[in-house]
Structure 1
């Protein structure tokens, strides 16, 4: 059952990557109110109706983010969700840290590579997991119904597009 159906709306330099990631994190944090990382004090429980979805400064129009825990600009754990409309493209990019993605609803098509190649992406249905290493180029797109993915890891977090013209912050 898709619990988000009602919420859906129709050759790198590692230091440069870290600086870019830090700038990206600050732009993400300015859009989303970050929450303190969970540190084991009792239980943390969040229902979908309690999540605040906002546009993502570092992604093209249409993508939305909710920060469940953490500050993306710090070295602490974070958990975020991204809601992507139908056929939404995530153009080739890298991240400064491991990316762990769980598909919560819909299908997310994902691939390793420096060029967006629709036919090379693997379909990851609801429940799938993908883990990518830092600095490894990747791209993807949402299926026909859109998708919600959850990312978790340790910051600082950010995104660096392989083609600077793909970066909506510029």
Structure 2
């Protein structure tokens, strides 16, 4: 009988040890992985560096800190971001709608290229460009922080209009 009790105790100890290891791995996985579904995205007002009306959600990292970040912008219909540049490469994926981008120091809607849902664009560091929508669109931007935007014309910067 004692042998059976010892075997049962060893099996129970093994089960407990295995359970603790699995829980530790699950905790580790939670810290190492980010999985986002559309229903758990928290939208807030866009940053003061963008014209009013935009909503944003930071998915990963922080655009204000050094390192990789991912954020989404929900832009209303007829939204415009005047010519500007960024201090790092900008990677844009269109989640919904059509996002228009053009190159140069002057806004010219006729030269803006429409990037449809599922499309992707990269603007290299310092590239002067502009963007606009015709209908509500959601884009995802990822890049290296700290992130910033410098308008070609300081009068176009919403931070200067306060």
TM-score, normalised to structure 1, is: 0.73
Pair 1:133–1:40, CA change in 2 (3 A): farther
2:52 is matched with: 61
Task: Kindly indicate which of the two structures has a greater share of residues assigned to helix.
Answer: 2
Gap runs ≥5 in structure 1: 1-38
Stretch moving more, 51-60 or 107-116: 51-60
Matches within 5 A, 1:107-118: 107-118=98-109
TM-score, normalised to structure 2, is: 0.77
Residue 153 of structure 1: CA displacement? 1.1
* Distance of 1:137 and 1:40 partners within structure 2: 39
2:4 is matched with: none
Of the three residues 127, 140, 149, the one matched with 2:118 is: 127
1:137 is matched with: 128
**Greater C-alpha radius of gyration:** 2
CA RMSD in angstroms comes to 1.5
* Distance of 1:52 and 1:160 partners within structure 2: 26
Gap runs ≥5 in structure 2: 1-28
1:97 is matched with: 88
Higher relative contact order (CA 8 A, sep 6+): 1
